[in-house]
Amino acid sequence: MRLRFQLSVVTLFAILLSSFSAAQRDILRDIARALKEPRPASELLAQTPMFVVTNDETLFNLFRTYLPPVHAAEFVSLRQLPSRIDELIVTERSVVVIVDRSRGDLTIEQRYVVPYDLTLIRRQDVVIACDVLRDSKGTCYRVFISAPSYAGLKTAIERFCKRLVREPRDMRMQEATPVAVCVVITNAGQEFVNAFAERTNVNFVWATPETISRVQDLLITETEIYLLIPPVPVSIRERLPFNLKLLAPNQSLAVKKNKGGDYWQVLLYGSFPQALLGLLRRYADISNVPEEPVVITHPVIGSIKRLLIVPFGDIVYYRDRVGDFAAQVFRAVQNERFANETVMPTKPPEPLYDWSPFQDGTIERKYLVDLAKVNEADLILAGRLAGFDTQSIRTQRLSSRPSPAADKQIWEIATVRIETATARLQVWLYEGKTGEVVWSKTITGTANKESVESVRQVEATKPPSLQPDRVSMFISDEKLYASAATAAVAELLTTMREEINWLVQPMPQVIVKVFPTVIEGLVGGVEVDKDAVFIYIDIGQNQSIKVGDAFRVYREVTVKTERKTVRLEEDLGEAIVVAVYPEACKARMIFGADAVIRWKESALRARLTRAPEKVPAEQPKETKPEGSNQQGERKPSPPILPAPSEKKP
């Protein structure tokens, strides 16, 4: 109703416009403009195709998140600007220039492409400028957003895109807002500056030890942040709030020192590049850096030929939701290439009958040494999925929009359910020769889901009261368990890179071997024929299964006593593959058929063991071998494999 009323009024003004004087027409235009519904500037901008000139794809995608879903934007890197500046000056498209000055800046020769005087920009200024160009073909815009670093740029983009306007001429603006800046001194390079900028909420300018003179004045008045890796020049060491000579070569440090009021000297020192990245993740909020030095000692791992991964333990109750967690960890660590070769053992050392002592960290060193010796491993990685922490929060959120009644608002109350699952993963890394613990950690991975349960509207003058948050431990979406476990595995890989110094060594390209025992599948069906029993397994040609492969069929048995709970594998028999499909295979039981029929309703598993040399079958005795060569030697013949339709003679 309100929209129809506005359209009617605008139409009426347009009809009567020709009968008024120029001054009266201006008044009527202002009235018509005031009746238009204000819209975000991003909606008007998205109505025209545009070039977006910015430092890199990260900033390009950041800007696009504030545009409507349907828009036409072409990315132009700041490096490409010199070769395309003539095109951008005369184009009929809109041109948006977004500059994070910590990643690179415009030159004075490129000033013609932006609607702002570049010589007026100070180091601490956040600039937002927009001009509107109109011709017979339509309207286009020239937008310029510039900030000292990522935090200020993100805020500026959001402020510009959400600014409410009624028509194109309202897009015109120019503003320069000074913000508080810190000074970052680093010898780690642009990649680490970008990583720091995207994690922190401070604005900064940065310099290297060689260009520190450019920010010498700011070093006196502003907060200093040092992001350093070896070697550190002597000129920089003298300025630091901690004496780096007190650290061992494999130690990292985080500390800050007050230089008066709210200004600090902050030092994040990593003994190797990945360690510095870990400190940036840990202290994304600079205010959390402690005043007392925090020293982190990193294990140093040399040349590793073979890494042995003991099957990681999981939780029986969550197994159907998480899946094969041991295989997931193995594949993830294997792909990271921490060692030349990554393998999984076939069985625990005698007299142990399962992996539980390895998984809970109670294993004796002699068993670790024995296992490493048998598998020729330099390192052993073991651990378990210790548990899940879940939380569900129901909260209410309030938003509003204008009401047809002048003194009221339409309040919208949304009830939102936020579900969180956190997986806890315990990990131990052992040295193979001695069985000593090299590194241990408890790692967490979190998965969240937010859903709107209900929405109700209230028309009132004042905002309605909201109900307090309700917290429970129950989550309805069980997929969050698998997502949290995956997040914990990803965090494991990141933490191993950041907390362990894996020495770089020249390695030829190698093919990582996987023990055949890790290839296993679930038995999805049992077919009883007159003379044979067949099983269907959910792995096939895509998993390198071929006709003639042998599978050991077993079921898992849980034994509970007062002292502990033990999982055992009870062998039921052996089967030979007789038919292979892309994602499944059919196998014939060569022994243990009765046991498989008995337990066919249970969760049976089949593990690949070998390709058999012989298959039991009755063959007629021959006095003279056929197919012999001239020397009387018999030519080798392939094994006779049973077929699904084959019957006993």
Instruction: Please report, for the chain, the start and end positions of each structural domain, with discontinuous segments joined by +.
Output: 2-35, 39-178, 181-298, 306-502, 519-649
- Mean pLDDT for 404-408 is 82
611 pLDDT above the threshold of 90 = no
In this prediction, residue 646 carries a pLDDT of 40
The fold of the 519-649 domain, in CATH, is Thrombin, subunit H (2.40.10)
CB-based contacts of 237, cutoff 8 Å, min separation 6 = 243, 244
* CB 273, CB 230: distance < 8 Å: no
The band of 514, judged by pLDDT with boundaries at 50, 70 and 90, is: very low
Put the strands of the sheet holding 125-135 in their side by side order.
73-77, 50-54, 94-100, 138-147, 125-135, 173-178
Q: pLDDT tens digits for 214-263?
A: 999 999 999 999 999 999 999 999 999 999 999 999 999 999 999 999 99
Q: Any alpha helices (H) in 284-417, and if so which ranges? A: 319-322, 325-336, 356-359, 365-375
565 pLDDT above the threshold of 80 = no
Q: Where is average pLDDT lowest: 1-5, 82-86, 505-509?
A: 505-509
The band of 104, judged by pLDDT with boundaries at 50, 70 and 90, is: very high
- Alpha-carbon distance of 403 to 412, in angstroms, equals 12
Reference 225, options 215, 233, 235; nearest CA is: 215
Q: Any alpha helices (H) in 200-324, and if so which ranges? A: 216-221, 234-237, 273-282, 319-322
User: Does 39-178 match 181-298 in CATH topology?
Assistant: yes
In this prediction, residue 64 carries a pLDDT of 94
The band of 509, judged by pLDDT with boundaries at 50, 70 and 90, is: very low
Cβ burial, residue 79 (10 Å; 0-12/13-18/19+)? exposed
Residue with tokens 């009235």: 31
* CB 333, CB 379: distance < 8 Å: no
Give the torsion sign (CA, 25, 29, 30, 34): positive
Q: Considering only the top CATH level, what class is 39-178?
A: alpha beta
Pairing of strands 584-591, 565-581: antiparallel
Select the CATH number that applies to the domain covering 181-298 from these four: 3.30.379, 2.40.160, 1.25.40, 3.40.50: 3.30.379
CB neighbours of residue 110 within 10 Å: 18
27 against 613, higher pLDDT = 27
Reference 418, options 436, 395, 384; nearest CA is: 395
In this prediction, residue 623 carries a pLDDT of 45
Select the CATH number that applies to the domain covering 306-502 from these four: 3.30.70, 3.40.50, 1.10.150, 3.30.160: 3.30.160
Per the prediction, the chain carries an average pLDDT of 86
In this prediction, residue 91 carries a pLDDT of 92
Q: Per this entry, what is the length of the chain?
A: 649
- Alpha-carbon distance of 370 to 5, in angstroms, equals 86
In this prediction, residue 556 carries a pLDDT of 85
Residue with tokens 């502003």: 222
Q: pLDDT tens digits for 338-359?
A: 998 999 998 898 888 899 999 9
Q: Indicate the SS3 state at residue 278.
A: helix
- Mean pLDDT for 62-71 is 92
Q: Indicate the SS3 state at residue 133.
A: strand
Task: Give the helix, strand, coil percentages of the chain, each rounded to 5.
Answer: 30, 35, 35
The band of 630, judged by pLDDT with boundaries at 50, 70 and 90, is: very low
Q: pLDDT tens digits for 581-607?
A: 888 999 999 888 888 888 888 888 888
Backbone angles phi, psi at 299, to 5 degrees: -65, 145
How does DSSP assign 559-590, residue by residue?
EE-SS-EEEEEEEEEEEEEEEEETTEEEEEEE
- Mean pLDDT for 349-370 is 92
In this prediction, residue 47 carries a pLDDT of 92
Give the torsion sign (CA, 22, 27, 30, 36): negative
In this prediction, residue 619 carries a pLDDT of 45
- Alpha-carbon distance of 358 to 383, in angstroms, equals 7
Q: pLDDT tens digits for 371-384?
A: 999 999 999 999 99
115 pLDDT above the threshold of 50 = yes
Percent of the chain with pLDDT over 90: 63
Question: Which residues partner with 501 through β-bridges?
Answer: 300
Answer left, alpha or beta for residue 284, where phi above 0 means left and psi between -120 and 50 means alpha: alpha
- Alpha-carbon distance of 465 to 468, in angstroms, equals 10
- Alpha-carbon distance of 344 to 377, in angstroms, equals 10
User: In Å, how far are 197, 456, 477 from 453, measured between CA atoms?
Assistant: 36, 10, 14
In this prediction, residue 400 carries a pLDDT of 87
In this prediction, residue 303 carries a pLDDT of 81
- Alpha-carbon distance of 512 to 342, in angstroms, equals 6
In this prediction, residue 518 carries a pLDDT of 55
In this prediction, residue 13 carries a pLDDT of 52
Q: pLDDT tens digits for 177-212?
A: 999 999 999 999 999 999 999 999 999 999 999 999
In this prediction, residue 34 carries a pLDDT of 61
169 pLDDT above the threshold of 60 = yes
Give the torsion sign (CA, 38, 40, 46, 52): positive
* CB 387, CB 318: distance < 8 Å: no
Q: Tokens at residue 562, please?
A: 């007062």
H-run or E-run covering 636: none
85 pLDDT above the threshold of 70 = yes
* CB 466, CB 396: distance < 8 Å: yes
- Alpha-carbon distance of 330 to 341, in angstroms, equals 12
CB-based contacts of 45, cutoff 8 Å, min separation 6 = 67, 94, 96, 141, 143, 161, 171
* CB 265, CB 244: distance < 8 Å: no
- Alpha-carbon distance of 385 to 316, in angstroms, equals 10
Backbone angles phi, psi at 512, to 5 degrees: -75, 125
- Alpha-carbon distance of 146 to 30, in angstroms, equals 32
Q: Tokens at residue 3, please?
A: 């929209």
